Amino acid sequence: MSINTGNTEDIIQILGNLQSFLRKPIIKNKLIDFFKKDSEFQLETINLILDSLENINIQKFQDLISSWLEVLVYFEPSQINQIIILYLNGLQKRKELINPLEPVLFYCINKMSKEQKEKLRDCFLETLFMIPNKNNILHSTLSEETLAFIRKN
């Protein structure tokens, strides 16, 4: 079976409709599998997800994004950085997704514990330093909330 954006949208819909206690173990297992795969598979997966986001109402999937972040934060920082850099590079090619995605991400992040927020922030900052300046997402129009999150001590 070939995976395409239609399949990916269906998977996002199904996961989004599950209760959190059912969704989180699935996300955890999929992330474990994701990190075992080669970089080509990882890049293709992220691109499919980002392509699918263009066709769905991101606001509707706050709970799914929240569950994903809550699971992701328990992985090693190097793994978190790995997935963040893939998403940031993908978003550089799809800047139109940044504005609708930003408030949803911050809604989800603000629900997390202080320690979880700090871990994600540290990973995000570390990742930003790994991206060449000309490709850095900081050159996009980021909201004040995002910039404040980046600058927090």
Confirm if 37 and 77 have CB atoms less than 8 A apart: no
- Cα separation, 27 vs 147, whole angstroms: 28
Closest CA to 98 of 133, 45, 54, 67: 54
Find the mean pLDDT for residues 62-78: 95
Count of C-beta atoms within a 10 Å radius of residue 11 = 16
- Cα separation, 112 vs 122, whole angstroms: 14
- Which tokens go with 35? 């990190």
Amino acid 74: pLDDT? 97
Distant-in-sequence, close-in-space partners of 105: CB < 8 Å, separation ≥ 6:
65, 69
Check whether 4 has a pLDDT greater than 70: no
| pTM score of the predicted model | 0.83
Long-range residue pairs from 125-134, CB within 8 A, at least 24 positions apart, any chain? 125/150, 126/77, 126/81, 127/81, 127/84, 127/85, 127/88, 128/88, 130/81, 130/85, 131/85, 131/88, 131/89
Check whether 26 has a pLDDT greater than 60: yes
Amino acid 1: pLDDT? 42
pLDDT tens digits for 91-134?
Answer: 888 888 888 888 899 899 999 999 999 999 999 989 888 776 65
